[in-house]
Chain A
C-alpha cells in the first residue's frame, strides 16, 4: 500500500494567516491526490481533487499544488471556519490511502 505522510501533525495559527500543509507519498502518484477537511463530529469534506482542482463550492482561499510524491495544501488567509483537521488521500492505486491528518488549531 502507498503510505501518505503529512506534516506537520498539528499547527497553531491566527485568523488571516497563510497556512501550508505538506503531504508526501511513499511512491509516485502523479496528481492523484485529494485533500479533505474534517471538523469534529462531522464527515470529511472534499476540498481539492487531482492535486490542484478546487471542488465546487469550496472557497478560493484553498489551493493545492504538487505532483509525483510531494504535495501542498495552502489556505491563503485563514478564516474562523477553517479550524479543522485536513487529510490528504492518494487515488493512484488501490487501496486508496489517507494521511494521518493535520490539525489546524487557534493560536
Chain B
C-alpha cells in the first residue's frame, strides 16, 4: 500500500520559515518524482514544483523560485518542503504528491497524495 504521510499543522509569524515533511512508504521512493501543491482557503490547487528523488534535481514554479526549497532524504524515503520569508498569503494547505510517471501523462499527473499540512501565517 502506497502511503504519503505529512507532518502536522504549523502556525508561523510573517517572515519566518517552515519545513513540511512527507514520509513515503509502499513503493520505490527514488523511482517517482514528488510534487508539492498548495491550496489556499477557497482557492484552486496551485503547483509549486517537483523534485526527482533519484538525482535531487528540482523544478520550481516561477512564482515560488527563491522562496521554496525542496529536498529529499532517500535513506528514509522522505521529501521536504521548506518555505522561507512567509507572508499571510502563504496560509494554505500544502500537499505532497507522487507523480504517476506514465508515458502518456507528461509531468505532474499525481496519483498518490499526502493528507495535507495546514500552514497558517499570522502575526
Q: Give A contacts to B, CB under 8 Å.
A: 31-32, 34, 36, 42-46, 49-50, 53, 55, 87, 89, 91-92, 94-101
Contacts and interface: CB of A to CB of B under 8 A. Distances in A.
Interface of B: 44-47, 59, 61-63, 95, 97, 100, 102, 104-111, 113-116
B109 to A, nearest CB: 5
Interface class of chain B by DSSP: loop
B106 A43 contact: no
A50 B44 contact: no
Contact of A96 (B95, B108, B113, B115): B108
Contacts of A53: 104
Given A49-B102, A50-B104, A98 B46 contact: yes
Report which residue of B44, B61, B97, B106 has the largest number of chain A beta carbons within 10 angstroms of its beta carbon: B106
Nearest to A34: B109
Nearest to B6: A43
Given A43-B95, A100-B44, A49 B107 contact: no
